[in-house]
């Protein structure tokens, strides 16, 4: 997959968000699993190469309700990423 690094980042962010907001559990809750599946689908269909950050993209592929949800996840998990996944956070920061 051409956007494997982006998918790995969003998966880690969703795990941080799900555990922090929905509580500890064996994995992602059903809602977060659906959001991860939607992210995977959108990344696989991204027409841009290289893919820009979503906030800088002119082609918003997320439907309005899902877009607000993924923004919520990123706002929650983003500041926590350097503590939990420092190398991944650094790689994400350098890609910008």
pTM for this model (two decimals)? 0.86
Q: How many domains does the chain have?
A: 1
Contact in structure between 12 and 44 (CB atoms under 8 Å): no
Omega of the bond leading into 95 within 30 degrees of 0 (cis): no
Rounded to whole angstroms, the Cα distance separating 21 from 4 reads 25
Please, what's the largest Cα pairwise distance for the chain?
A: 37
What range does the domain containing 40 cover? 4-95
Q: Tens place of pLDDT for every residue, the chain, 96 residues?
A: 567 888 898 999 999 999 999 988 888 999 999 999 999 998 888 888 777 777 777 877 888 888 899 999 999 999 999 999 998 888 877 766
Alpha-carbon torsion, ordered 33, 35, 41, 43, to 10 deg: -120
């Amino acid at each position: 997959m051409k956007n494997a690094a982006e998918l790995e980042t969003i998966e880690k962010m969703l795990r941080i968000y799900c555990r922090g907001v929905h509580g500890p559990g064996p994995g992602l809750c059903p809602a977060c699993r659906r959001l991860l599946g939607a992210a995977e689908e959108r990344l696989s269909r991204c027409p841009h190469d290289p893919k820009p950050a979503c906030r800088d993209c002119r082609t918003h592929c997320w439907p309005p309700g899902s877009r607000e949800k993924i923004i919520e996840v990123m706002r929650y998990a983003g500041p926590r990423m350097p503590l939990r996944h420092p190398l991944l956070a650094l790689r994400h920061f350098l890609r910008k």
